[in-house]
Structure 1
C-alpha cells in the first residue's frame, strides 16, 4: 500500500523568505545580466540585429526597458 502525503500550505514566513530570495535573485543576478544584454543590443550594427531577427527600433525599445521587466 502507498501512503498519501498531503503537503501543508506554506506559512507566511516561508512565503516571505521565498519572495525575498526571488527579489535578491532579480536584483543581484538578473538585473546585471539584463543590463549587459541590453547594452550589447545597442552596440550591434543594424545589419547584425536584422541577422538575429530584430529591427533596430526594437533593440532601442528593449534597451530602454526598466530592469524589472
Structure 2
C-alpha cells in the first residue's frame, strides 16, 4: 500500500497525502502519508501512530470525514 500510494502521489504530483487505516498492515502507509487517520475501531498500535482518529468503520468514518471536508 505504501509503495503504491507514494507512486500515485508522485505520478499525479499531489502536494499532500492523507491515509486511512484500521490495522497493522497500514503502518507503512501511515509512514509515507502527510496525515494519517485511524478509524476509532482500529488496533491500538495504529491509533497511536495516527495524526487523528475518526469515526469507526461501523459509523462510515472515512466517508463521513470526506463528506465533512467537501462541505468545509
- TM-score of the pair, normalised by structure 1: 0.25
Structure with a larger share of its residues in helix: 1
Higher relative contact order (CA 8 A, sep 6+): 1
Structure with bigger gyration radius: 1
Structure with a larger share of its residues in strand: 2
